[in-house]
Amino acid sequence: MALSAKPLHPLFAAELTGADLATGIDPATRDAIERAMDEHAIVVLPNQRLDDDKQIAFASLYGPLEMSPAVRGKDGAAAATFRVQNRNIFDVSNLDEHGRILSIDDQRRAYRDGNQLWHTDSSFRQRSATWSMLHARIIPPDGADTQFADTRAAYDALPEATKAKLEGLIAEHSIWHSRAQLGGYTPTEDEIKARPPARHPVVRRHPGSHRNALYIASHASHIIGWPVEEGRALLRDLLAHATQPRFVYAHKWRLGDLVIWDNRCTLHRATPFESTTQVRDMRRSTVIDVRAEAMAG
């Protein structure tokens, strides 16, 4: 069956039908999904019956995968066991290793609350991310939508004087900068050393579409060579511009949805739900951008 794309927003995002990822896909389908991603930046593949191994097998078709980090639990110690055993899967849920809803004082809850800020996955790594893939295993009865913003369209809409101002600017990105803004997660010295900041251009050329995109959001701490507050003011202004309603698509999750987004040209954020009483079980795979160092250079 040939793939069929249905636009979900005037600027970006499409639903793609005709692929059953659980049974494996041929090279032609793999390439068709990549072309759709280059055009739309976000692709929704509905009704995907994936377990962790099948999700990893599909994601690995597009490059090496990130390993999920250990996050400290309720007692402040790094978890000795993981609810999701394969570390190529990020556990994007409100559940502990026993499948119970995380308690209010669990540090993992505080850490994941930071996902409610606009961000792009792994911009705090020197080798950042190309695509992220989030699969809906259990969804709450309401809420918990994910919002996405198109930073290619946002860049295109900037005044020419602003585009010239941004040329050559480098921002420093840190996971600990974003986690200090929301969630109250306090890293240990070992965590800080293990996940140091990274530097990336504020504007990057997206290799698939050959369009410029803003590379900003909550992990972006400051502009290199600028006074800190001046740089942060610029980053705030760019974020406010990029997340205007005209650039935003809100995805309402359905069971079995696999949503793929391109971190190089989109932002996203989680929206709140009744996380103390309702279960949300999502599994994420993230592809490492092996070209990130070259782009940053």
pLDDT, tens only, 215-238: 999 999 999 999 999 999 999 999
Q: pLDDT value at position 180?
A: 82
Cβ neighbours for 192, distance < 8 A, ≥ 6 positions apart: 176
Residue labelled with tokens 């803003």: 214
Looking at this protein, which amino acid is placed at residue 21? L
Boundaries of every domain in the chain: 4-296
Does the structural domain 4-296 have CATH classification 3.30.360.10?
no
Does residue 194 carry a pLDDT above 90? no
Nearest-10 Cα torsion for 284, 64, 293, 200? 0
Higher-confidence residue of 78 and 180: namely 180
Q: Cα–Cα distance between 105 and 168 in angstroms, integer?
A: 43
3-class SS of residue 289:
coil
Q: What is the pTM of this model?
A: 0.93
Q: Cα–Cα distance between 83 and 143 in angstroms, integer?
A: 24
pLDDT, tens only, 52-74: 999 999 999 999 999 998 775 55
Q: Cα–Cα distance between 20 and 205 in angstroms, integer?
A: 32
Nearest-10 Cα torsion for 296, 266, 61, 19? -160
pLDDT, tens only, 254-285: 999 999 999 999 999 999 999 999 999 999 99
